[in-house]
Amino acid sequence: MNKVTIDDIAKVAGVSKSTVSRVLQGRVAVHPDKKNAVLTATRRLGFKPNIVAQSLASGRSMTIGVLTQNMGSPFYDAIAQGVIAGLSPSSYSPIFADGRWQIPMELSALQSLVGRRVDGLVLIGGSISSQQIQECCNELPIVIVARRFSDSNYRCISMDNVHGGYEATRHLLDCGHRKIAIIRGLSHHADAIERHQGYTRALEEFGIVPDPRLMVESDFSPDSGLSAVRELIKRGEPFTAIFAANDLTAFGARLALDQHGLRVPDDVSIIGFDDQLESAYMTPPLTTYHQPAREMGHHAAKAILKLLQGDEFLSLQVPGHLVVRRSVRDLTTIVH
């Protein structure tokens, strides 16, 4: 292990430890001779500063706590990757804790992060209330990703899911679809609710009354997408298109259709949500609504860095956009 301390350097360089510290920090002027002596000794002894001691003394830990929900969802993973990337050019390191979408775990993970004296916090998704956050993180710079608080003054980096749901549904409508099924996500999940709202709004704009028989729930997993389509088919209510809660669900749905001998997009069209890497390689490539997950994570990292510098930073809505590929059939084009 590295047993070299600044005291050792001080001794070798023939100066006091204060001077060593000053040289190493480089914020205060030190006589060139001593400076050189310190630098030489530092190199010769292979000194590596003890960041823990630095943290305790300076009050800054140079770490950013990242609270994920680790549901293995590509979307949340991509956000986390973005945070790592955004932080990496700085001298801050991310430290992760995992809430697993369960409030008690989320709370304790958060407390563990705060106990580690992180200098800032990035909260990805999650379900705890803004009040609970406030309680344990007074004064700490916080950025929330992929979630929005109506009531609070937190900085949030999010995407407009209502609008996304609207655009996706609207695309199906524009392509002439009228019987549009929706596989929505978990009933209590904000993203699912908002996308569903967008769906409803788009339909109503076209004077269509949303049919509960064309609505199935899922848990965002491919498997639930598969069951959802089976359920849909069992109900017998015809449909020409499916709006899936996310791409993963769309994959499951696509497979179920295949198993029932229904062709995509010839018989049934599918639109997803997220635009994860694999979606472009579905057969047929999946039309979906792109969520800039990685960018959001990246933004979050930059935001925290800004706040840490004392700069202000305001909530940000990152725009998503429709990615048209080949899984939606255009019914308005007359085929021979």
Partner DNA sequence: CGATATCCTGAAACCGGTTTCATGATGGCT
Partner DNA sequence: AGCCATCATGAAACCGGTTTCAGGATATCG
What residues make contact with DNA under the rule CB under 7 A? 3-7, 14-19, 21-22, 24-25, 28-31, 33-34, 47, 49-50, 53-54, 56-59
Q: For residue 45, give the H/E element and its range.
A: helix 32-45
The residue count for the chain: 336
> According to CB under 8 A, which residues from 123 to 182 bind a second copy?
138-140
Q: Out of 4, 12, 79, 97, which residue is the one contacting a second copy (CB under 8 A)?
A: 97
Minimum Å gap between C-beta 200 and a second copy is 28
Q: Out of 205, 258, 266, 267, which residue is the one contacting a second copy (CB under 8 A)?
A: 258
Q: What six digits make up the tokens of 129?
A: 């209330």
Residue located via tokens 């580690």: 116
Task: Report the partner that residue 319 touches, choosing among a second copy, DNA, none (CB closer than 5 to 8 A by kind).
Answer: none
Minimum Å gap between C-beta 225 and a second copy is 8
Is residue 40 a contact point for a second copy (CB under 8 A)? Answer: no
Task: Please say which residue, 50 or 130, places its beta carbon nearer to DNA.
Answer: 50
Residue located via tokens 């059939």: 329
- Provide the b/e sequence for 4-22 (b: ≥16 CB within 10 Å): bbbebbbebbebeeebbbb
Query: Distances from the Cα of 267 to the Cαs of 1, 182, 251, in angstroms?
Result: 66, 16, 16
Stretch that binds a second copy, among 11-19, 121-129, 190-198, 274-282 (CB under 8 A): 274-282
Q: Out of 31, 43, 44, 116, which residue is the one contacting a second copy (CB under 8 A)?
A: 116
Task: Please say which residue, 77 or 275, places its beta carbon nearer to a second copy.
Answer: 77
Q: For residue 96, give the H/E element and its range.
A: strand 93-98
Return d(Cα 275, Cα 93) in angstroms, integer. 28
Of residues 25, 34, 84, 23, the one with CA closest to residue 57: 25
Return d(Cα 289, Cα 149) in angstroms, integer. 23
Is residue 24 a contact point for a second copy (CB under 8 A)? Answer: no
Minimum Å gap between C-beta 26 and DNA is 10
Task: Please say which residue, 24 or 84, places its beta carbon nearer to DNA.
Answer: 24
CB < 8 Å & 24+ apart, contacts of 106-114: 106/67, 106/69, 107/132, 107/136, 109/67, 110/65, 110/67, 110/136, 110/137, 111/136, 113/65, 113/67, 114/65, 114/140
- Provide the b/e sequence for 291-307 (b: ≥16 CB within 10 Å): bbbbbbbbbbbbbbbeb
Task: Please say which residue, 24 or 255, places its beta carbon nearer to DNA.
Answer: 24
Task: Report the partner that residue 15 touches, choosing among DNA, a second copy, none (CB closer than 5 to 8 A by kind).
Answer: DNA
Minimum Å gap between C-beta 107 and DNA is 20
Is residue 88 a contact point for a second copy (CB under 8 A)? Answer: yes
Answer yes or no: are the C-beta atoms of 124 and 76 closer than 8 Å.
yes
Is residue 90 a contact point for a second copy (CB under 8 A)? Answer: no
Return d(Cα 244, Cα 38) in angstroms, integer. 63
Minimum Å gap between C-beta 47 and DNA is 7
Return residues touching a second copy (CB under 8 A). 1-2, 48-53, 55-56, 61, 63, 68, 70, 72, 74, 77-78, 81, 84-85, 88, 93-98, 111-117, 138-140, 222, 226, 248, 251-252, 254-255, 258, 277-278, 280-285
